[in-house]
Every structure is written in C-alpha cells, then in structure tokens.
Structure 1
Amino acid sequence: MTVTPPTGPPARQCQNALNTLHSTVYFGPDLGRELAGKGIDDPMDWYLAGRAAALGRVGPGVVTALFYNFRYDTIARHLPALWDRVPPEEAVAARLRAADAILRRAFGVEALTARPMREAARLALRAVEACGRPGRPMYAAHADQPVPDEPHLALWYAATLLREHRGDGHVAALSAAGLDGLEALVSHSASGAGMPSESVMTSRGWTEQEWSEAEERLRGRGLLAEDGTLTPQGVRLRQELEEETDRADREPYQHLGAEGVAELTRITEEFVRIAGTAGTFPPGLASFFLPADLTKT
C-alpha cells in the first residue's frame, strides 16, 4: 500500500517536511553503532535512548504517558534499566552524533555549510522562538538542550523541537477526543495517512487481539466500518484532530511568516528528496516518508 501523508495548510506542510528530516535518525544504523559499545543491541533501546533521554532518568510510566501510543509493558521491559547502561546525557550526545553522521552521508560535506542549509537552520530556529514550554513536556525537555553550532545540526535540532512541539499538542487533542493510544494508532492507520498497521503494532508492542479490540471500540463509536476503513464520522474526527493540532501549533509558523514558512518548506523538502534518493529511508516505509512529489529526481 502506498501511503502519502496529507499536505494540509502551509504550516502543516512545513512541519511534515521538518518531521521527515528529523526522522532520518531512526532509520540509519548510526545510533545503534553509537550505543553498541554500551552493550545495547535492541532497536527499541536505541529508540528510547534517543527520544526519551532528554527527559532524564525517567521510568516507563512517564514515557508511556508522553509517547502516548506505546504499550506500557513494552516500555517497562527497557526502562529504567536502560539508563544503567547509557546515562541520559550520554544518550543525548550519541543521538546528535548519529544525526551528524546520517546528514553527512545523505548530503555530502559541502552542503552542510552551504547557503540553503544555513538559511533553513536560521528559519527553523526563528520558528522555534515562538514555541512555549507550558503543557509541552516533550518539547520542553528537548528545548533544554543547547543549540548545535553546525548549520546542519542546528536545522536537525530545530526540526526536532518543532516536531515534539506539534506532537505534544496532538497528544492533547487525542486525549480530548477520547481516543486512547491504541485507538489513535488504529484510526490513523485506517485513515490511510498512517504507517501500515503491522508496522506500528509490532513497534509499539500491541498484540493482534488488542488491535482487534480497539477496532471494535471504534466501531461501537461509529468511527470504523466493518472493512477496517473509517466511516464518514471517523474521517471527520481525524480531520478535526489535525485541525485542532494545527491551531495548537500555529504560533511558530505565524512568527516565521508566510514567506518564511514557504521558503523553509521548499528547502527542507529538497533536503528530504536528497535524503530519500540516498537511501536514508527503508524501502518498505519510503512511500510514507516520501510523498510522490518529493521522490521525483
């Protein structure tokens, strides 16, 4: 199945591109290599060490609450024991080194300090200026990290902050709509905008039975049809969730201005296209991270 994320308003298009750039760190081998010396060879440990480390020595309860769509028992098999092998501050540094390696490989050394990279970093950091910490725990934790000096890492850092800022707002919208973490995954996959169900089910620790039970709950609310697609009511709910997330995430892009948003989107989408042609994304998920218009050479 070919999955193409929705484009939506200009700010959402910009955020989609930035999120894709940020996501490169999850698919390369580099973070795993960085953590191999700590005796860490489990991909879930890599993910948790990278994304949760900015929160400090947190346990499974905090991470489950903030990540929202992971099964608690899955997280509890890794945390807090993971921090005994790699302290959070070391994991933060390892992820930044991994991002550096991935972007160098994807773009080449000369592009890292060229004008497009410097301009994208400047624009993205300007957007971050309007992000707020209250009610945004994932954003706030990452915002406490220093801004890297190198333009390509500054861009990746800003993309990370903007991604987590929107994510915090989206979690609030999901909770307000009465969707638990698994129901959010099921409805997103059913919308055609999410990754394939078998991929997210496995990576987040859910069983087929739990997935089926969540589908039944959504059918009981009139959101999911018998064939597993969204009903018109379900489509409306998913649209409303994205619109509410847009509203909660509007300040960074209003601060940047229409011209700045358009320019940041243009440059970042080009970087995403280059990363895609360099094989940065796994073949099975490339269509999700690379909309058709970004894969053209």
Structure 2
Amino acid sequence: MDVTPLPKGAGRRCLDELNSLHATIYFAPDFGEELAAHGVEDPMAVYLAGRAAPWGAVGAGPVAASFNGLNHELIARHLPRLWTQVAPATVVALRLRAADAVLRRFLGEAALASAEMTEAADLAVRALEACEPRGRPMYAAHADHPVPDAPHLALWHAATLLREYRGDGHVTALTTAGILGLDALVSHSASKDGLPKEFVMERHGWTAEDWAAAEQRLGARGLMDADGRLSARGVLVRERLEEETDRLDGAPYAHLGASGVSRLTELTGSFTATAAAAGAFPTELAPAGAD
C-alpha cells in the first residue's frame, strides 16, 4: 500500500482530467440524437435526462436541490413530464451507448483495447471503494448502477461517479458558507476561473435581473464590489470553498495513494489530450465543471 502523502492539489488535478473525459459526451451530438428518437429534443431536457435518470422518475425539487445552480422553474418545465416520453432506465442505457460511441470516435479502437485503458479503469474503479454515499445524493444515485464490463466504459462510469462525488461535496461546502444557487454561480463567474455571466445565465435559466439581485446580495456581504468583481474577501471565500471541497473529496484519492493518483492522472490526461486533438471539445471552452 502506498502511504506517501498526496501532493497538495493532486486529487483535484486527477479529477480535472477525469471530468474532462466524462464531459466528452456533453459536446457531442450522440446522446441528444438517442433521445430525439424518443421525442426529447430540447437541449436542457437532454442534459437533465442524462444526469437525473439514475434516480428514476424524480421531480424538479430534488434535482434543483442537488444540481444547485439551475433555476427551479427551468427544471420544472421538463421534470417530471420528461419521464412520460422516455423511461429513466432507458435513458441510462442510451447515455452509456452514447458514451461508447463518443469514446470510440475520439480515442480510436486501439486506445480502447490498450493495456493503459484497462489500467486506468482499474485505478478509477478502485478509487470508488473509498466513496461514502451518505450525504452524496448525486453520487449515490449513479453508484446504484453497475460498473460496465468494457474498460473504456468502466473508466467513463467511474469518472462520472467521481465527478458527482466531488460535486456533492462542493454543494456541502457552499451550504456551510451560505452561498447557494445563483449566488454560487455569480461568485464563481466572477472568479479567475469563472465563465462569462451571459454564458452561465443562458444555460442555467437565470435572467439579468436575477443576476443583478445576486450581485447585490453578495455585495451586501462584502464579497463583491460595485463593478461586479470579487472583493478581496470574496476571493478568499472562494479559495476556502475550493479547499474545503478538496478536503471533502479527498477519500478516493487517499485510497489510491500518491503513485496511483499520479498514474491515473497521467493515463486519463493522455486520453483527454487525444480526444481534444480529435476535436472533442469546443476551442472556446475548457472542458471543466462549474458550481
């Protein structure tokens, strides 16, 4: 067993690569085309279906609570009505089939059949052994589904689980800090790693008025200035949020040990680089998650 202490940020760097591999499905048409055959064509409905289906025929409330950043009204336009068009179990199967098609296209058959793919899958699945599902609703829903047999799909599945595990922990950190929902999105958008607010608003169902009100709330707490930028205190709060998320997300990477985390980061990073070179991601966006 590797007892070497993990370098600072090693778990987050590993998750960044895993998250990028997972995210290939969001930038490809395959899953949308699978759902279009069932009459589901709205891009938001497709997104909600993919992430919420592992729960079963859930309504808008739990999804809004667990996703955190999406407007409840936006979610309620699609859930639970969506499940009358396509059953959640069908969505889970279609999403995995889409992931298979996307990875085959962007990585190639040789990479999928390689020893490196099997090694990466084994490491990622082993990391899941240390994930405690209690208090992690998104992770727990996905963890109820079996690990696929094919190594590339096992890696993608494990990447999905580890992504949701960290996301659940991040929502816990945000809850403790009292920065939830739109306020979390606004503070993240104003950070050095944030996406433009217009992009975030459009995809999360918020209006300019909603955004301005959140800026005022954050400003009243001393977290933003009058120009919509994070204050010094706001920057510090965001840094502490990420540090707390790292702490809450530490178990799977501590379980792998320093050498295992380093190797999984290297292998997954190589696959992600191959996918990027093949055009898997839009050039204007980094393939990473947000609040």
Q: Report the RMSD for the aligned CA atoms in angstroms.
A: 1.2
Q: Is the 8 A contact 1:22 1:156 kept in 2?
A: yes
Q: Distance in 1 between matches of 2:81 and 2:174?
A: 30
Q: Distance in 2 between matches of 1:219 and 1:277?
A: 41
Q: 1:2-41, aligned counterparts within 5 Å?
A: 9-41=9-41
Equivalent residue, structure 2, for 1:295: none
1:195 positional shift: 2.2
Q: Distance in 1 between matches of 2:276 and 2:260?
A: 24
Q: Is the 8 A contact 1:113 1:150 kept in 2?
A: no
1:192 positional shift: 2.1
Q: 1:224-239, aligned counterparts within 5 Å?
A: 224-239=224-239
Question: Secondary structure of the residue that 1:105 maps to in structure 2?
Answer: helix
Q: Distance in 2 between matches of 1:100 and 1:258?
A: 30
Q: Is the 8 A contact 1:32 1:46 kept in 2?
A: yes
1:149 positional shift: 0.6
Equivalent residue, structure 2, for 1:201: 201
1:283 positional shift: 2.7
| Matched residue type, 1:85 | Q
Q: Is the 8 A contact 1:133 1:139 kept in 2?
A: yes
Equivalent residue, structure 1, for 2:4: none
Q: Is 1:72 paired with 2:72?
A: yes
Q: 1:149-160, aligned counterparts within 5 Å?
A: 149-160=149-160
Q: Distance in 2 between matches of 1:265 and 1:195?
A: 24
Unaligned 5+ segments in structure 2 are 1-6
Equivalent residue, structure 2, for 1:114: 114
Q: Distance in 1 between matches of 2:196 and 2:115?
A: 37
Question: Secondary structure of the residue that 1:289 maps to in structure 2?
Answer: coil
Q: Distance in 2 between matches of 1:231 and 1:8?
A: 26
Match of 2:287 among 272, 286, 289: 289
Q: Distance in 1 between matches of 2:18 and 2:33?
A: 24
1:276 positional shift: 1.1
Q: Residues 153, 167 of structure 1: CA spacing in aligned structure 2 closer, same or farther, 3 A cutoff?
A: same
1:20 positional shift: 1.2
| Matched residue type, 2:55 | L
Count, aligned residues: 282
1:196 positional shift: 2.0
Q: 1:209-220, aligned counterparts within 5 Å?
A: 209-220=209-220
Equivalent residue, structure 1, for 2:126: 126
1:272 positional shift: 1.2
1:194 positional shift: 2.3
User: Sequence identity, in percent?
Assistant: 58
Unaligned 5+ segments in structure 1 are 1-6, 291-297
Q: Distance in 1 between matches of 2:225 and 2:280?
A: 36
1:225 positional shift: 1.8
| 1:89-134 deviation line (CA, Å, top 9, x unaligned) | 0000111011111100000011102011111101101101100111
1:284 positional shift: 2.6
Q: Distance in 1 between matches of 2:104 and 2:128?
A: 24
When normalised by structure 2's length, the TM-score is 0.95
Q: Distance in 2 between matches of 1:40 and 1:126?
A: 35
Deviation larger for 227-236 or 142-151: 227-236
Q: 1:251-290, aligned counterparts within 5 Å?
A: 251-285=251-285, 288-289=286-287
| 1:120-171 deviation line (CA, Å, top 9, x unaligned) | 1011011011001110110001001111011100000000010011110100
1:8 positional shift: 6.4
| Structure 1 moving runs of 4+ over 4 Å | none
| 1:196-254 deviation line (CA, Å, top 9, x unaligned) | 21111111100011011101111111111222221110111011101111111111000
| 1:50-71 deviation line (CA, Å, top 9, x unaligned) | 0000011100011001101100
Q: Distance in 1 between matches of 2:143 and 2:75?
A: 23
